[in-house]
Amino acid sequence: MLIAGVDEVGRGALAGPVTAAAVILNSNLKIEGLKDSKSLSVKKRKNLNKEIKNNSVDWSIASVDSKKIDSINILQASLLAMEKAIKGLSKTPDMVLIDGQFSLDIAIPSFAIIKGDTKYQNIMAASILAKVSRDKLMEKFGRKYPKYGFELHKGYPTKSHINKIKLVGPCAEHRLTFKPVRCIINKKF
């Protein structure tokens, strides 16, 4: 039975995409050290990212950009990214395990599992692939938009990031509908 784990990262960021991954682990191989991506060091995540990609039956990563997030809202964008990641798999899973409380509108039997990224290895693996992929993209945006420090905070609402938005305004990667950014644009801070 092919079981895909799905998770997303970047929901709480003020800039950049929401990124999801779907992973079908090889049931004959155990990948040591799998955990939720947030509980791993950058180095460990990068090492596991390679190992997951090299030893999985299949994997896929998908993102939804800030413009789409602003047009459909972050929840719908997160679900869309997860659906795109599943559709990006070359093998069709028999079942999908989704981190969180929301199911997906897909033809494959799927189950939403709260804190699934702490319970199921295939969701942990998806969490790691999504985090490494999104972090790499935010580092790229850090080079493209050097005033914001995206490579440091990855678009999340740190004090430094909010101060930079106040100082120079938002860039094309900012989510304009998110309250901190919207308040800065409307000068209500």
pLDDT the model gives residue 29: 87
Q: How much is the average pLDDT of 48-57?
A: 96
Q: Is the pTM of this model over 0.85?
A: yes
| Conformational region of residue 139, where left means phi above 0, alpha means psi within -120 to 50, and beta covers everything else | alpha
Cα maximum dimension of the chain: 56
Residue where the block lists tokens 């199911």: 103
Residue 33 three-state SS: coil
Quick: pLDDT tens for 69-82: 999 999 999 999 99
Domains of the chain by residue range: 3-140
pLDDT of residue 188: 64
Tokens 């599943």 belong to: 86
- The mean predicted confidence, pLDDT, of the chain is 95
Domain 3-140 homologous superfamily, CATH = Ribonuclease H-like superfamily/Ribonuclease H (3.30.420.10)
Phi-psi region of 89 (alpha: psi -120 to 50; beta: other; left: phi over 0): beta
